[in-house]
Amino acid sequence: MDKDEILLRSKNENRHGDEREMQNREKAESFGNWIVMVILFILALLADAGVVGGEVIINGRTFLFKDFAWLLGFIGLGCEFGAKFYYTRKLRWLLLCLLFTAGSIAITVTDSF
């Protein structure tokens, strides 16, 4: 291998950033996702306690605000775990995705949590 081939190979391997940058980006994205989920669940708990309330109308269907907050949290976590399963193919992520998807369906169908 000559110098140009080595540089080209290195450039192709690092086109998405070096390993440290990729790990830092993944950690930041994961942290951001979890913060959003925590805020949604705190909001849902406050709605359950009666601190915040109201109704949300989606496509002519009325949801209590607390049910809507729980629904958003469950959908978000279902998507998060579904993406993790897609990229890692680990069974635990699939099971968590199915659990939160079933919770989302249950909230939507029964209109109560």
Count the alpha carbons within 13 Å of 76 in the hemisphere toward its beta carbon. 17
pLDDT value for 16: 65
pLDDT value for 109: 84
pLDDT value for 113: 44
pLDDT value for 101: 93
pLDDT value for 23: 80
Write the DSSP string, 4-68.
HHHHHHHHHHTTT--HHHHHHHHHHHHHHHHHHHHHHHHHHHHHHHTSS--EEEETTEEEEHHHH
pLDDT value for 100: 92
pLDDT value for 17: 64
Those residues of the chain that have pLDDT short of 50 are 112-113
110: closest CA among 54, 70, 77? 70
